[in-house]
Amino acid sequence: MRREGVQVREMSAGDLADVSGLCERELTLDRGAGALPAILTRRPHVGLVAEDGPSRAGGAQGQHRAGGAQGQHRAGDAQGQHRAGGAQGQNRLLGACFGAAEPATPAGAERRTGFVDLVVVDRAARRQGIGAQLVAGLRERLAASGCQVIAVRGHGVHYAWPGIDVGYTAAICMAEDLGFQRAGCEVDMRVDLLSVPLDTRAAEERLGRAGIEVRRAGTGDDGPLQASLATTWVPDWIAAITAALRDDHAGLHIALRGQRYVGFCAYGVNRLHEVGPLGTDPGLRGLGIGATLIKRCLADQRDRGLLAADLGWAGPLSFFSHTLNAVISRTYWTYEKDLTAPGRPARWQDRIGLI
Ligand SMILES: CC(C)(COP(=O)(O)OP(=O)(O)OC[C@H]1O[C@@H](n2cnc3c(N)ncnc32)[C@H](O)[C@@H]1OP(=O)(O)O)[C@@H](O)C(=O)NCCC(=O)NCCS
């Protein structure tokens, strides 16, 4: 059944508190889901809300076109008048979504990708076409900003998930029914902070004898650290390390050999219970640097009152399983939809069991 009178419009900064409440209520598999809108608005994004209510002067359509032409905007840039309608009690928030376009077509890639990063609908308003309307709104805007492919997978530093959690059954069904093709699988791992041994003193003494110093990063590292690591690690990881270094709520531990930075591990880049990224210089692996760094982060998280930490979008799995007794805690499927494919591509679901 399609619900009549639903307005889809650009999200404004004034919507964020309500959208956060909706995420907190409806994203039941997530810890601290209310923080997700604030995370996703830390980068250029498209945010849309669906609401019940009369159309207003100026109309949602005009705003849609403005957003589509710009492709992306920050919530804080959007017009405040929409929220004013909600504040007067005229409109009720029914759903919200976030997406983003790749900043530009990556070198060597033929096509630019846009992403669906989060879709959520109030449980009292489900199966009325609102989720599909929100995804269509994102698709329209991402296509207008030059995207030929729409993907559902992790990207960038400030992301919510690496794909769709298979436990969000309705979201999986919706993605597949809307023609997204399953592309891959990612997992999170969880570490029990009360049982994992986190004492690193012996390992640090051993590393010290090999000329490797392990310590907490400080403001004096900001600059030399990124310059040193940027020759080895992807820009997203350098950005994550920088975010951890500059955010009082996050933490970063590093390893040095002489003046050279040879390892790092961050936590709390997005949410306090998340740990990573973690990296050891390829020439110095197998010495215990990575295990020492991540244990120092986990000890911080435990000391800050957490019972468990999550390795989001985790890999290599055996390293974390072996070193930390980490277990696979969440499984995500990633999806893609080719906007340039002629007609509706054959759905793999329709081929199940056929020769
Ligand atoms: C996933 C979610 C956003 C779907 O919103 P919705 O407004 O109910 O979706 P729609 O009514 O637009 O559904 C569109 C189509 O998706 C499919 N679909 C949606 N929910 C489904 C379900 N529970 N079971 C099977 N198919 C479903 C159907 O094909 C549906 O079309 P139909 O109703 O004509 O059969 C909503 O269930 C939700 O908020 N879930 C919790 C949040 C979540 O899991 N988000 C995913 C992380 S991004």
Give the residue, by CA position, lying nearest to ligand 1 atom 36: 121
Ligand 1 binding pocket includes 171 (Cβ within 6 Å): yes
pLDDT(89) > 80: no
Residue 87 pLDDT exceeds 60 = no
pLDDT, residue 107, reads 73
Q: Closest ligand 1 atom to the C-alpha of 118?
A: 48
Predicted confidence at residue 64, as pLDDT, reads 35
- What is the rounded average pLDDT of the residues 246-256? 97
Q: How far is the CA of 6 from the centre of ligand 1 (A)?
A: 16
- Report the pLDDT averaged over residues 8-28: 98
> pLDDT-based confidence at 121, cuts 50/70/90?
very high
The pLDDT-based confidence of 351 (bands split at 50, 70, 90) is: confident
pLDDT, position 223: 97
Asked if 72 and 45 touch (Cβ cutoff 8 Å), the reply is yes
Report how far ligand 1's centroid is from the alpha carbon of 131 (Å).
Answer: 6
Among the four given CATH numbers 3.30.428.10, 3.40.630.30, 3.40.50.1110, 3.30.565.10, the one describing domain 195-306: 3.40.630.30
Whether 81 shows a pLDDT value over 50: the answer reads: no
Instruction: Please report, for the chain, the start and end positions of each structural domain, with discontinuous segments joined by +.
Output: 6-185+332-340, 195-306
Q: Which of the pair, 86 or 244, is modelled with greater confidence?
A: 244
Domains 6-185+332-340 and 195-306 agree in fold: yes
Q: What are phi and psi of 256, to 5 degrees?
A: -130, 145
What is the average pLDDT score of the chain?
Answer: 89
Q: What is the mean pLDDT of residues 118-141?
A: 98
Task: Give tens-digit pLDDT for 288-316.
Answer: 999 999 999 999 999 999 999 999 999 99
Average pLDDT estimate for 322-340:
97
**pTM for the complete prediction?**
0.87
pLDDT band with cut points at 50, 70 and 90 for residue 91: confident
The pLDDT assigned to 59 comes to 37
CB 36 near ligand 1, within 6 Å? no
- Measure CA of the first residue to CA of the last residue in the chain; give whole Å: 35
Backbone angles phi, psi at 120, to 5 degrees: -145, 135
Q: Could you give the CA distance from residue 147 to residue 47 in angstroms, rounded to a whole number?
A: 16
Q: Note the pLDDT of residue 198.
A: 98
Angle at 37 between CA 303 and CA 19, to 5 degrees: 120
The pLDDT of residue 90 is 62
The domain made up of 6-185+332-340 has a fold known as Aminopeptidase (3.40.630)
Site to substitute for ligand 1 among 28, 127, 176, most atoms within 8 A of C-beta: 127
Judge if the beta carbon of residue 132 lies within 6 A of ligand 1.
yes
Predicted local confidence at residue 106, as pLDDT: 67
Tell me the per-residue pLDDT of 26-60, one tens digit each, with 9 for 90 and over. 999 999 999 999 999 999 999 999 999 765 433 33
How far is ligand 1, taken at its centre, from the CA of residue 255, in Å? 46
On whether the CB atoms of residues 192 and 146 are closer than 8 A, the answer is no
Whether the per-residue pLDDT at 130 is higher than 60: the answer is yes
Question: Is the CB of residue 336 below 6 angstroms from any atom belonging to ligand 1?
Answer: no
With contact defined as beta carbons under 8 Å apart, do 10 and 48 qualify? Answer: yes
Q: Is 170 in the pocket of ligand 1 (CB under 6 A)?
A: yes
**pLDDT of the residue at 345:** 66
On the question of pLDDT at 62 being above 50, the answer is: no
pLDDT for res 245 = 97
State in Å: Cα 181 to ligand 1 middle.
16
Output the six-digit token pair for 104: 């530009």
Q: CB under 8 Å to 229, separation ≥6 — which residues? A: 237, 238, 241, 261, 264, 279
Length of the chain, please? 355
